[in-house]
Chain A
Amino acid sequence: MIKNHKNNANDFITLMQPYMRHINHTAFRLTGNMHDTEDLVQEFLIKIYPRKEQFNQGQNIKPWLTKVLYNTYIDIWRKQKNNPTCKKDNINFTGCDESDEQFNHHICNTLCPEQLTALSETQQELMQLLFSLNNEQRLVLVMHDIEGYSLPELTNIMHVPLGTLKSRLHRARDKMRNLLNDKKVSHDKEVAEG
């Protein structure tokens, strides 16, 4: 029994090690902070362990792992959303834009100051803009523009129709570009005023 356990552990660790960097990075892109990333990855590994037999050697399993990771994230997120004591309960998941208050609440709870200060000023601004999007828009932007999945791949990963994904992606990009342009205008104005 002990030997079996040890073999199972070694097999699973050997199997998963090559993908852990990808998993950790994607988890961070989804959650935006290290603490939630660790929780998400742990939950994901617990979920994936019983299905380790589905790993076929030579087959590209990254999209499948990403899909399970994404679903795990959504499960956790929904649980938090439905739990009135949870820190993220005010975030809107239905696609409407959040109010400023909700936006600030989200930023405060998702990006911790230590992580923000580790980024350059430009990257801090970008990160904050990214998390000012509603969850649906942010997720498709992260998965498509940062993680590099195509929209057809994302329909499978995110269980959302192609047209819906595309419109969310376009709205997310419009919003990001508008916010960046607004910031640039206000920055230029400040410089001009001395």
Chain B
Amino acid sequence: MKCDYVNLFLYDYVDGYLPSAQRNLIHNHLLSCQQCANTVLEQQELTRSLQSLAMPELPEEFNEHALTHAVNFHENTQKTKYFSITNMAIAASVFFAATTGFLLTQQPTQTPLVEMVAENKNEVHGEHLNLVFNSPKALSNVTFTVILPENVEMMGHPGKKRVVWSSQLQAGQNLLSLPIIAKEKSTGTLITIIDYENNSKMFEVKLKNKKLLT
């Protein structure tokens, strides 16, 4: 048996994936071929070394803190239901309601939760547009496309009107928090397109400037 042929199966031999007949053939070749036997030994040594790589431990309190935070994250979300999730956002919305700013109209059948808060400034920094999508089942390989209206940008994507990324949806509610920057008094429609399993769904969120309407 030639080494070139044996080489095709050496890793499968090491991993134990070969049927017994083929395994015996390789085994017999290794008994008479030092070069192939060395390859097997090198690989076994490499695997041993990788498995013995030092594994640092996280701080003792990390687990409890992380577990508690995960519980609080969801329990607090449930309590506030379809409202904004952060204190900052609530505070900003109070400010917004008291003066002017951006008013968001929803497409109720497609976007169960949509809320936007913004300060009454010509340029709004660091606010989030929260969208919640209900998914009947967990979906992997979901592509999100957000198309922004005029004078609205997403943080980290200056000048871009279209932002695309891949993620997944879990069964039930999924919060999509978009860090948007609204420049000047903006109006228009923010479009979110979700592509999954050969399906495509489009959600529209209308952003209107309260002052312009009155």
Report which A residues bind B (CB closer than 8 A).
Answer: 1, 5, 8-9, 12-13, 16-17, 20, 24-25, 28, 34, 37-38, 41-42, 45-51, 71, 75, 78-79, 82-85, 115, 118-120, 122-123, 126-127, 130, 141, 144-146, 150-151, 159, 169-170, 173, 176-177, 180-181
What A residues does B73 contact at CB under 8 A?
46, 49
B58 interfacial by beta-carbon distance below 8 Å: yes
Known: A71-B140, A84-B156, A180-B46. A46 touches B70 (CB 8 A): yes
A118 vs B17: C-alpha distance in the bound complex, in angstroms? 36
Chain A residues with CB under 8 A of B47? 145
What is the minimal beta-carbon distance from A36 to any residue of chain B, in angstroms?
12
Can you add 10 more A-B contacts, CB < 8 Å, to A41-B58, A120-B54? A9-B72, A42-B70, A45-B66, A45-B67, A48-B70, A50-B172, A71-B140, A78-B167, A79-B165, A173-B46
A119 engages B63 (CB within 8 Å): no
CA distance A49 to B68 in the complex (A): 10
Provide the B67-108 mask, 1 if CB < 8 A to any CB of A, else 0.
111111111000100000000000000000000000000000
- Please count the residue pairs between chain A and chain B whose beta carbons lie under 8 angstroms apart in the complex: 121
Q: Say if the beta carbon of B22 comes within 8 Å of chain A.
A: no
Q: Complex formed: what's the CA distance from A78 to B165 in Å?
A: 8
Residues A8 and B75 in contact, CB atoms below 8 Å apart: yes
Query: B46 to chain A: which residues have CB within 8 Å?
Result: 145, 173, 176-177, 180
List chain A residues, Cβ under 8 A from B69: 42, 45-46
Chain B 106-160 interface residues, beta-carbon cutoff 8 Å to A: 140-141, 156-157
Q: How many residues of B contact A (CB 8 A)?
A: 44
0 or 1 for each of B47-73: is its CB under 8 Å from A? (1 = yes): 101111111111000111011111111
The distance from the CB of A163 to the nearest CB of chain B, in whole angstroms, is 12
Contact check, B75 vs A85: say whether CB atoms are below 8 A apart: no
Is B172 within 8 A of A24, CB to CB?
no
| Dominant SS among interface residues on chain B | helix
Instruction: List, in ascending order, chain A residues with CB within 8 A of B67's CB.
Output: 9, 12-13, 16-17, 20, 45
Selected A-B contacts with CB under 8 Å, 23 pairs: A1-B79, A12-B71, A16-B67, A34-B56, A45-B66, A46-B73, A46-B74, A49-B73, A49-B74, A71-B168, A118-B54, A141-B50, A144-B15, A145-B46, A145-B50, A146-B50, A146-B51, A159-B140, A173-B11, A173-B43, A177-B39, A177-B42, A181-B42
Q: Which residues of B contact A79 (CB under 8 A)?
A: 165, 167
- The answer on a CB contact under 8 Å between B170 and A145 is no
Complex Cα gap A88–B65 (Å): 27
A130 touches B66 (CB 8 A): no
Contacts of B71 in A (CB 8 A): 5, 8-9, 12-13, 49
Query: Does B166 interact with chain A (Cβ within 8 Å)?
Result: yes
Q: In the complex, A12 Cα to B68 Cα: how many Å?
A: 9
